[in-house]
Structure 1
Amino acid sequence: MKYNIALLPGDGIGPEVVDATVKVLKALEKKTDIEFNFKTYMIGDAEKKRSGTALPQATIDGVKEADACLFACVGETAKETILPLRQKFNLYANLRPAKAYPGVSALKPETDLMIVRENTEDLYKMIGDRQPRSAFNVRVITYEASERIVRYAFEYAKANGKTKVTSVHKANVLDYTDGLYLEASRAVAKEYPEIQYQELIVDAAGMLLVMKPELFQVVVTTNMFGDILSDVTAGLVGGLGMAPSGNVGDNMCIFEPVHGSAPDIAGKGIANPAACMLSAAMMLDWLKEEKAASMIEEAVVKVLKEGKVKTPDLGGKNKTTEFADAVVKAL
């Protein structure tokens, strides 16, 4: 099977981790019947400085035409790049796994859960106003988007052998918006009697995710709560450097490591590409190439477990390219 993959390296360490990941994907071609056609498109701070726009039309068109997209990171232009792409292509589900890997220092090594975050509305609709001494942002929640994201969470649980879905809200205070979200959540939950359904107020959810992450399997919530809680759970398993993610819709996807552009180490060749590689594994899983996805994840895990090749953030002295070579060898 041949896939057209749009690459959006972006800023800072983005090109380095994408190059390392492409090296692994090219090695995967030799082990499977998969072929990749990679096309690179411009995005981010540097592109805005060069052309005046952080998200050129050519990039939008390239993402639209591709079978899947791998995005790395941008600097200060996230609001002008990844947010519009999520909304433009209706990538309504943000997938944020939190999983502890061997060889990576973790506060809670027993953590293994998935946060399913609504990705198109809430405060991220960017509706609001600013006056000299006052400001407001409008929180938009719809029944349609709430129902859709909760259904995605239950379908994910069903497909991955999970037995529990936790719906996180703040309906005790945000009675209009989260009240509507909960109505949709409860309606969907009734369609899946074989899966345990739990509701938690976001305050309690935050505390329990830190204290007892093993109680959670699949967490579904609205956009901003999911944005915050997913970084909390990343902190349990070694930080954002090891955190992959996906933005998916019914027919399109953009997968990305969660870490930022890390300008302090950009160009030094020491960035950890593991999160980008794991994001590529998630991308393959979305493309229904489950075996290939497992091969990449298992190769990354093998390198981490052996501990012979580690980038500085993992306590080693190896280069990005050396980590990539080790993963290729592990394949």
Structure 2
Amino acid sequence: MHNVTLIKGDGIGPSIMDAAVAVIDASGAKINWQEAEAGMSAYEKTGTPLPDATMQSIDETRVAFKGPLTTMVGEGFRSINVELRKKYDLYANVRPAKSWPGVKTRYDDVDIVVVRENTQGLYVGLEHYLTPQKDIAESLAVVTRDSSERIVEYAFKYALDNDRQKVTVCHKANILKFTQGLFLNTAREVAKKYPQIEFDEKIIDAACMHMVMKPEQFDVVVTTNMFGDILSDLTAGLVGGLGLIPGANIGTDAALFEAVHGSAPDIAGKNIANPTAVMMAGVMMLTHLGEHDAGMRMLHAIEKVVNEGKYVTPDLNPNSTCGTKEMGQAIVDAMA
């Protein structure tokens, strides 16, 4: 039995998470769900978007399954996701993007995994004003050899564990010679330990162009925090959007799995939200927990339903009258 902290989230979160939990429970995996709150719903009840009880639950379970959260504007944390990553040192953000035969896009051969360093660089928000008038601001991008080494090691080990052939490091070391140079040089050193994996390096702007022109040349991509944030949304666009993309945040002894899209309050309660992304995050979670058979059953059922395009939400098939609950049930039935 695996203890998992369940955070349903805000907006469409509860509906897609209920559908995902039903599918996970039907997969055969033995999960003891410990429900906790975060985001706007938690703030309205407790006065904080990240209550101590939620943190205590994650402290105990070391695994969280999370729906989308609404980040408070002008109050609370800069980002609840960033706060959780910092608290549990979830240094690796993993975002796979793979083409779906049943989802029409410009490409049909995309299979890219973005591995993003999660704890350093510009995205962590080390910034301040330099003048009392607040007319000059400065952001600090801190990059260390240790953090660079562990994220590149993670990318190569991921490639080995998942039968991937190539790792591409994306950087801007041609201009940012100290921070990005340190990251790139560390990646080169790590790559020497994995001669069985092809190693490539691309300047970030050129990588974006190549990714749009010929995405099949990419396999596993490893990069720094801000670049990873941008690239992972780009790869999502190649395969049909954020509604299909899961996310995992992995640390040494803790992990968080989530949908990477927003809470979409405008469609909350309408039973039309696409649960695919968070269900795919559930597949990643089951793999992390060692529930490989249950994860494969779940994955095949999701792929069957999405690719058939019949029992899917309207964003995947405009002619569909199927809702979130009905799509979830179809995936449960596909596992039977």
Range into which the TM-score falls when normalised by the shorter chain:
over 0.9
- Cα separation, 2, equivalents of 1:25 and 1:303: 15
Task: Give per-residue Cα distances to partners, 1:74-96, cap 9 Å, x unaligned.
Answer: 12347331111111101110000
Give the Å deviation of 1:52: 2.0
Q: Does 2:32 match 1:37?
A: yes
Counterpart of 2:264 in structure 1 is 262
- Cα separation, 2, equivalents of 1:80 and 1:173: 29
Q: Does 2:83 match 1:79?
A: no
Unpaired segments ≥5 residues, structure 2: none
Q: Is 1:3–1:67's contact at 8 Å kept on the other side of the alignment?
A: no
Counterpart of 1:157 in structure 2 is 159
Percent identity of paired positions between Structure 1 and Structure 2: 48
Counterpart of 2:236 in structure 1 is 234
Counterpart of 1:287 in structure 2 is 289
Pick from 140, 143, 146 the counterpart of residue 141 of structure 1: 143
Structure 1 residues 129-278: aligned runs within 5 Å: 129-130=128-129, 131-278=133-280
Query: Which segments of structure 1 move beyond 4 Å, counting only runs of 4 or more?
Result: none
Structure 1 residues 40-119: aligned runs within 5 Å: 40-77=35-72, 79-119=78-118
- Cα separation, 2, equivalents of 1:310 and 1:26: 20
The alignment's TM-score, normalised by the length of structure 1, stands at 0.96
Q: Is 1:55–1:80's contact at 8 Å kept on the other side of the alignment?
A: no
Root-mean-square deviation over aligned CA pairs: 1.2
Counterpart of 1:329 in structure 2 is 333
Task: Give per-residue Cα distances to partners, 1:46-65, cap 9 Å, x unaligned.
Answer: 32233221111111111121
- Cα separation, 2, equivalents of 1:229 and 1:48: 31
Paired letter, 1:326: A
Q: Is 1:107–1:238's contact at 8 Å kept on the other side of the alignment?
A: no
Task: Give per-residue Cα distances to partners, 1:156-207, cap 9 Å, x unaligned.
Answer: 1111111111000001111110011112111100111111111100001111
Counterpart of 2:313 in structure 1 is 311
- Cα separation, 1, equivalents of 2:78 and 2:5: 20
Unpaired segments ≥5 residues, structure 1: none
Give the Å deviation of 1:67: 4.7
Q: Is 1:45–1:74's contact at 8 Å kept on the other side of the alignment?
A: yes
Give the Å deviation of 1:105: 2.1
Q: Secondary structure at the match of 2:175?
A: coil
Task: Give per-residue Cα distances to partners, 1:245-295, cap 9 Å, x unaligned.
Answer: 100012211000111101110111111111111100000111122221111
**Count of aligned positions:** 326
Q: Secondary structure at the match of 2:257?
A: strand
- Cα separation, 1, equivalents of 2:288 and 2:63: 9
Paired letter, 2:309: G
Q: Is 2:243–2:277's contact at 8 Å kept on the other side of the alignment?
A: yes
